[in-house]
Amino acid sequence: MSKIIITAAISGAEVTQAMNPAVPYTVDQFVREAKSAADAGAAIIHIHAREEDGTPTQDRERFRVLIDAIRDACPEVILQPSTGGATGMTAKERLQPTELNPEMASLDCGTMNFGGDEIFVNTENMIIEFAARMKERGIKPELECFDKSHIDMAMRLVNKGHIDRPLHFNIVLGVNGGAAATPRDLLFLRHSLPADATFTVSAMGRHQLAMNVMAMVLGGHPRTGFEDNLQYSRRVNAESNGMLVARLVRIASEMGLEIASPDEARELLQMPPRK
């Protein structure tokens, strides 16, 4: 079996320090959380930028400051900014981090009802626009799919030439409006992917660990971190993103699996060598 690539989603756009004081807002806090995750074994750091007061932002210059600071502290790690941003942001806002030419970026593959009146809009034309920007700049897209229809959309755009192989998916489970975080739904979505694709599994809250472990059993890769889950156990906050990563490393070791370094992750995902 291939080595396991751990992604740490260290910040998210919705979680706050009122929920867990370790959620990063400032540059120093982002560096602290990224380094804790990388030191524990994460090969990929997924980033939602925040202003100093915690406000979600897709501002290019804020991303630049955060990415430069994290890269100084963790020079080997793969940095993966979000192009999802937060609900209500325009496509132009959301695309700003791609102007920094990161190695990877998330590419959401469908519209979601996030609850109440919140709609996370990703029209077909928006997905094509985002994919074109990533192709133009040599950015590896992580195809975020919250449901079966999102996988179908991604494959339709692959077949039309908008998205290039090799493909890497992130199956996101347990989000309002999307597929449930259950073994049944994960199996269905995993077997809906092309046989030659790689995949990561993300799951929300208390479902995170179980779905992460199932991902490893199925030959995929886990995503952990504060964006998806703030707690280490019931009513006990995780002290850091690194604490969540370290648990996955221990479990993978018990399963006889090895953890991929960032350069090994690049090879497994068929990414170009670092510049």
Mean pLDDT of 135-152: 98
Whether the pLDDT of residue 140 is over 80: the answer is: yes
Q: What are phi and psi of 203, to 5 degrees?
A: -150, 150
pLDDT of amino acid 167: 98
- Tell me which H or E stretch contains 60: helix 60-73
Domain layout of the chain by residue ranges: 7-268
Q: Which sign does the torsion angle of CA 184, 188, 191, 193 carry?
A: negative
Measured distance CA(180)–CA(161) in Å, rounded: 30
| pLDDT tens string 61-111 | 999 999 999 999 999 999 999 999 989 999 999 999 999 999 999 999 999
pLDDT of amino acid 170: 98
Whether the pLDDT of residue 275 is over 80: the answer is: no
Whether the pLDDT of residue 273 is over 80: the answer is: no
> Distances in Å between the alpha carbon of 162 and those of 63, 130, 149, 157, 215?
26, 10, 17, 5, 27
Mean pLDDT of 14-18: 97
pLDDT of amino acid 272: 81
Which candidate, 73, 88, 70, places its Cα nearest to that of 14?
88
Architecture of domain 7-268: Alpha-Beta Barrel (3.20)
Whether the pLDDT of residue 274 is over 80: the answer is: no
CA torsion angle for 105, 109, 114, 120 (degrees, to 10)?
80
> Distances in Å between the alpha carbon of 116 and those of 112, 113, 119, 120, 176?
12, 8, 8, 12, 10
The two structure tokens encoding residue 211? 């779905």
Share of the chain above pLDDT 70, in %: 99
Measured distance CA(72)–CA(77) in Å, rounded: 10
- Is the distance from CB of 216 to CB of 254 less than 8 angstroms? no
pLDDT of amino acid 1: 59
Whether the pLDDT of residue 56 is over 80: the answer is: yes
| pLDDT tens string 205-248 | 999 999 999 999 999 999 999 999 999 999 999 999 999 999 99
pLDDT of amino acid 188: 98
